[in-house]
């Protein structure tokens, strides 16, 4: 089958921690040989887009200038489109603050804000939670970069963005607008980056509940790679049905 | 009407911050004159029961040795009954840890635990959240002291227990057993303290969503006092229906 573009997840698909996944270059080469444009797509909010590309270089992944969509950048793009004049309070990584400032919005550091953005926050403490609670007033919009429950690290899981998003939800009883996977906003942004119709694109990722579910919701074909979070037995137990299940990104060649 | 006992909330009902609510002594006296046993009942987890009684003394509230039920003590009592041999990981105040140790259970400081207890945690940080996440294994029981969304302080609201409980729920996708108001476990414990049938007791408190809802769920008559969180207009807008609405604890005399 021929695809208008492939959206390729990073963690668990292209790299794992600080190492390249061995078959990743073969898969990316197959996509390029088949003239399928690539967009890299990650729920990570701790890296800028140029840091993603330097990291690809550093670990030996061939990078040929393809667009990168991070949840931090996507959140800023979402706000620039929907709330360009907003004061934005961030409970998240400083990268998120930087993306929001780069998108032309104003950061709010004290008192009420028009928008509260929440995500993975390694600086969390009682004072930051209090400041975030007090940023809410009537009409404040609540936006989450993503809702990943946990983040895998080498010595075990650490809290994911959802710990912080849920903490806020638990205080203010207000559901956030979610930008990252499995919501489809990132798929739309990725499609726009390469001028493709999202329905003709293929989503490739290692996580059933983020990558594959987003693809399913966006009406895309999906390929689950079993080099990260989700395994073949998870597919059998899940209601989320990838179009393809392959061992790793290298096997994407057989789908083109 | 004659009641077998009255359960009296503290914050917003008897005291506010560090000050006695002026009519509180009159209300307590009316209950004692009518021979209605009193139990003080609070979702606060930051004080031991003897600290509650010293604080009553310190601010000039007449205290005559009545039982005090705090959410911290109630949580320890719940665990001592249901999981007496459990290793317990606490994400909450040190008072909660002290109550749990006093109830004969073992505190777990690292790795997996049989029970995770969560509540208001002014020491929250990324490492504490990570330790709590890693305390969960197959079969770990999740217990919340209470789910108050926020805590009123003089300069504004601060996070309530639900911020921390929801953060954990957001990581592990497991609902907690809740001990504090509005769940009915504290009503049962309070009734047991004075040997009364809970259905014949009166719940008096300032918060529709905790005090009055607990009373409603426990099948009790309820009196909302308008000296704290909830006002008369909140009653009109709510589906929770107190049996009585009065200005403050002093007006309880008219209900006896």
Q: Among B122, B144, B170, which would you mutate to test the A interface (most chain A Cβ atoms within 10 Å of its Cβ)? A: B170
Tokens of residue B129, six digits = 């959240």
- Is the Cβ–Cβ distance between B255 and B1 less than 8 Å? yes
Q: H/E element holding B129? A: helix B126-134
CB neighbours of B16 closer than 8 A, spacing ≥ 6? B227, B228
- The pLDDT assigned to B153 comes to 83
pLDDT grade for A27, boundaries at 50, 70 and 90: very high
Calpha distance A97→A243 (Å, rounded)? 36
Chain B CB contacts of A146 under 8 Å are none
- Reported ipTM exceeds the 0.90 cut: yes
CB contact under 8 A, A170 and B166: yes
CB contact under 8 A, B158 and A130: yes
Residue A124 has pLDDT above 80, yes or no: yes
Calpha distance B144→B161 (Å, rounded)? 8
Residue B194 has pLDDT above 80, yes or no: yes
Q: How far is B156 from chain A (nearest CA, A)?
A: 8
Pick the CATH number of B82-178 from 1.20.1440.120, 3.40.50.1000, 3.20.20.140, 3.10.20.10: 3.40.50.1000
pLDDT grade for B18, boundaries at 50, 70 and 90: confident
Chain A CB contacts of B134 under 8 Å are 156-157
Calpha distance B225→B218 (Å, rounded)? 19
- The pLDDT assigned to B173 comes to 93
Query: What fold does the segment set A84-178 form as a domain?
Result: Rossmann fold (3.40.50)
- The pLDDT assigned to A18 comes to 85
Domain boundaries defined on chain B: 5-43+181-255, 82-178
Does the domain made of B5-43+181-255 have the CATH classification 3.40.50.1000?
A: yes
- Per DSSP, the three-state class of B143 is strand
CB contact under 8 A, A125 and B121: no
User: What integer best gives the mean pLDDT of chain B?
Assistant: 96
Q: Among B118, B159, B162, B174, which would you mutate to test the A interface (most chain A Cβ atoms within 10 Å of its Cβ)? A: B159
- The pLDDT assigned to B109 comes to 86
pLDDT grade for A17, boundaries at 50, 70 and 90: confident
Q: What is the arithmetic mean of pLDDT over A125-144?
A: 98
pLDDT grade for A154, boundaries at 50, 70 and 90: confident
Whether A84-178 and A5-43+181-255 are alike in CATH topology: the answer is yes
Calpha distance A250→A246 (Å, rounded)? 9
Beta bridge partners of A5: A201
Nearest by CB to residue B125, choosing from A125, A162, A164, is: A125
Residue A1 has pLDDT above 80, yes or no: no
User: What integer best gives the mean pLDDT of chain A?
Assistant: 96
Residue B1 has pLDDT above 90, yes or no: no
Q: What is the arithmetic mean of pLDDT over A121-130?
A: 98
Looking at residue A175, what DSSP letter applies?
P
Nearest by CB to residue A149, choosing from B130, B134, B171, is: B171
Residue B83 has a CB neighbour count (10 Å cut-off) of 15
- The pLDDT assigned to A168 comes to 98
Q: H/E element holding A8? A: strand A5-9
CB contact under 8 A, B124 and A121: no
Q: How far is B25 from chain A (nearest CA, A)?
A: 33
- The pLDDT assigned to B175 comes to 97
């Amino acid at each position: 089958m021929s695809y208008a573009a492939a959206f390729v997840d990073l963690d668990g698909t292209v790299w794992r921690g600080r190492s390249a996944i061995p078959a990743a270059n073969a898969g990316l080469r197959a996509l390029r040989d088949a003239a399928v444009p690539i967009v890299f797509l990650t729920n990570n909010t701790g890296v800028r887009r140029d840091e993603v590309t330097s990291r690809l270089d550093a670990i030996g992944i061939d990078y040929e200038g393809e667009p990168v969509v991070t949840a931090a950048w996507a959140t800023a793009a979402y706000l620039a489109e929907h709330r360009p004049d907003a004061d934005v309070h961030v409970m998240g990584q400083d990268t998120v603050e930087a993306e929001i400032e780069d998108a032309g919005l104003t950061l709010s550091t004290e008192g009420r804000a028009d928008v509260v953005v929440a995500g993975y926050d390694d600086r969390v403490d009682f004072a930051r939670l209090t400041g975030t609670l007090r940023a809410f007033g009537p009409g404040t919009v609540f936006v989450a970069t993503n809702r990943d429950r946990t983040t895998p690290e080498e010595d075990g899981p650490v809290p994911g963005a959802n710990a912080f998003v849920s903490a806020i939800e638990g205080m203010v009883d207000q559901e956030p607008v979610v930008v990252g996977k499995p919501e489809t906003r990132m798929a739309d942004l990725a499609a726009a980056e390469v001028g493709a119709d999202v329905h003709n694109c293929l989503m490739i990722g290692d996580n059933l509940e983020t990558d594959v579910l987003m693809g399913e919701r966006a009406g895309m074909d999906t390929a689950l790679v079993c080099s990260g979070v989700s395994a073949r037995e998870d597919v059998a137990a899940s209601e989320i049905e990838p179009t393809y299940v392959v061992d790793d990104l290298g096997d994407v060649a057989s789908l083109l």
